[in-house]
Every structure is written in C-alpha cells, then in structure tokens.
Amino acid sequence: MPQVRCPKCGTLINLQNRRDSDFCLILKALESKGRTFSELLKITRLPRKTLSLRLKQLINDEEIMKNGKYYTNNGKGKTIESIFDKEIRFPSNKKLLASLIIILLGIPSISLAVALLYQPVEPQPLGYIRAKVYLNNVTDLYAWQVAIRFNYTNLKIQNVKPGNFLTGNMELQFNKLESDIEISEKTVFIYKEIDKGTLLVCESLLGDSPSVNGSSVLFTIEFAYFYKYEEASIIFDESPTCKTILLRKDLTEIPINDNTLTLQFEKL
C-alpha cells in the first residue's frame, strides 16, 4: 500500500490504514443514530473532501445508507472489527447458506451410499443335502402326513417335492394353488414349516381314486447346510399337529413300525 509523508510533521502515513481508521470513525459515529454531514464533520474531524469520499465509499459498499441523514445499513455490510480482518476471507451469507444446504441435502445420500457399501453379506452354504422319505410294504394307503425335524440354525429348506408312491408311474401335471400347495388331477400335495425346525408334509388321493399298495418314495426335501453336514429326522408321535400318520380311504390309521418309514440322505 502506498505511503505519503505528512506535510506538517513529516510522518509516513499508510493510506490503507488511514482509510480504515476513517471508516471506523464514521461507523462508530453512526452506531447510535443517524447523523448529518455537518454532524459527522464535527465528530470525526475529517477534512470535508475526505469525509465526502469516505461516505460515498461506504454507501457503495452498502455499509451505510443516506436518507436525509446517514445511517448504518443494519443487517448488511461488515462490522467495524471486520474492516481490519483482511487476511481471512469468508463467503457471503448467501454462499454460506447455499453451502450448508448442499451439505445437509447430501447427508442422506452419503448415508445411503455407506449403507449400501457395508450391507451385511449373506452367508454361503457349505453344501446341499437331499433327503428322501421312503414308505415300505404298505397296503390300502389313501393319504399320509409326515413330520420332519431339522436344525434350523444349520439347515435351510430349498425345496420339497412329492414322490411317486400315490401316483405310480403316471406323469401328472401339478399346479400350485399357493407356494406350499400343489394339486394334480389325482392328488393334492401340501408342505408347511409350522415351527422353527419343524416341517409338516401331507399328500392325499382325490375323489374315488383307488388306494395304493407297495413301496416307494413319499417325498423329497433338499436342504442347504451352512456349518456342517447334518441330517434331519422323522417325528412319529409328539402331538396331533406333528403326528406322522398313514390313512386308508375310510380314514382309519395304518400301523407304523420301525421299518415302515425310512429316511435316506445324499450329498449333492
């Protein structure tokens, strides 16, 4: 900043400091109330021309306004202290507000991105098991219900499919009534996980279909295992809902012994 020498005393004067000092005198005089030009001349003791130049500059900077008298432009411009703070530049209020809005609006997107990046990974199974339930040497079978128990913390059911005991070698078209109910022109097949680790599977002939004799597969379950190879088991008689039963057409029960129903497992 250029300097000039005072013609009276010979002191070097920094023009920037002098201007800032003049601004402070004017703003200080206008803090309490509006002032006329004459009043400002008396208070600041600035030369008339200098005062006029300073007032024009402050008006241009929107730090003061003129309405008959000179007033501070409340809510606009800089504070007196900020006149000397030339090294640090802050954004204007509008820019600062816009910056805050952008940041605030960006927070949900950032959170979503982080959530997507850190979604928990589903555990992958170690392998798969196929379990086949066989019915051996039975006569007059019309319907059946079998309950299966499995360790639900390790085994997850992948699918359940009917066997061919009641249908023989007939190629039937099954239609799904629901996710766990399938029906053909000859049989209805139902399976449902009625509790954690308990699967109930049922099948029945329809209408006047004749009862069936012999040995074959009732149904097949495929499990995924996650921690270790593990087998399921048949529940024979724990409660009415989990009871394994074989029925004749007249709804009388067919006796079950240790060899009537068996489970066979195969790793896939």
pLDDT in tens, 103-124: 555 555 555 555 556 666 778 8
Radius of gyration of the chain (CA): 46
CB 117 within 8 A of CB 193: no
CA distances from 19 to 58, 136, 153, 202 (A): 11, 110, 81, 98
Does pLDDT of 263 surpass 70? yes
Average pLDDT over residues 33-53: 88
Highest mean pLDDT among 122-136, 176-190, 230-244: 122-136
Average pLDDT over residues 137-153: 92
Q: Do residues 220 and 139 both lie within one domain?
A: yes
Q: Do residues 76 and 131 both lie within one domain?
A: no
Amino acid occupying residue 15: L
Percent of the chain with pLDDT over 70: 72
Of the three residues 63, 86, 109, the one that is the final residue of a domain is 86
Q: What pLDDT score was predicted for residue 24?
A: 83
| Tally of domains in the chain | 2
Q: Do residues 55 and 149 both lie within one domain?
A: no
Mean pLDDT lowest for which of 38-52, 87-101, 136-150?
87-101
The DSSP H or E segment spanning 183 is strand 181-183
Longest CA–CA span in the chain (Å) reads 133
Mean pLDDT lowest for which of 75-89, 95-109, 147-161?
75-89
Does pLDDT of 265 surpass 70? yes
Average pLDDT over residues 82-104: 49
Does pLDDT of 194 surpass 50? yes
Q: Do residues 139 and 24 both lie within one domain?
A: no
Q: Do residues 144 and 194 both lie within one domain?
A: yes
Residue 111 covered by a domain: no
Segment 54-66, tens digit of pLDDT: 888 888 888 888 8
147 SS3 class = strand
Does pLDDT of 10 surpass 70? no
Domain residues for the domain of 177 are 127-267
Q: Do residues 152 and 22 both lie within one domain?
A: no
Q: What pLDDT score was predicted for residue 138?
A: 93
CATH of the domain at 66: 1.10.10.10
Residue 199 covered by a domain: yes
Q: Do residues 146 and 249 both lie within one domain?
A: yes
Q: Do residues 47 and 164 both lie within one domain?
A: no
Residue 213 covered by a domain: yes
Residue 65 covered by a domain: yes
Residue 230 covered by a domain: yes
Q: Do residues 162 and 40 both lie within one domain?
A: no
254 SS3 class = coil
Mean pLDDT lowest for which of 4-8, 117-121, 166-170, 262-266?
4-8
Confidence band of 73 (pLDDT split at 50, 70, 90): confident
Does pLDDT of 82 surpass 50? no
* Strand partners of residue 148: 199, 234
Q: What pLDDT score was predicted for residue 107?
A: 53
Of the three residues 34, 69, 86, the one that is the final residue of a domain is 86
Q: Do residues 163 and 221 both lie within one domain?
A: yes
Distance, in Å, from the CA atom of 128 to the CA atom of 123, rounded to the nearest integer, reads 14
Distance, in Å, from the CA atom of 181 to the CA atom of 189, rounded to the nearest integer, reads 6
Record the pTM.
0.54
Q: At 22, list the tokens.
A: 């003049």
Q: Do residues 134 and 35 both lie within one domain?
A: no
CATH of the domain at 205: 2.60.40.680
Residue 5 covered by a domain: no
Residue 32 covered by a domain: yes
Q: Do residues 142 and 249 both lie within one domain?
A: yes
Residue 2 covered by a domain: no
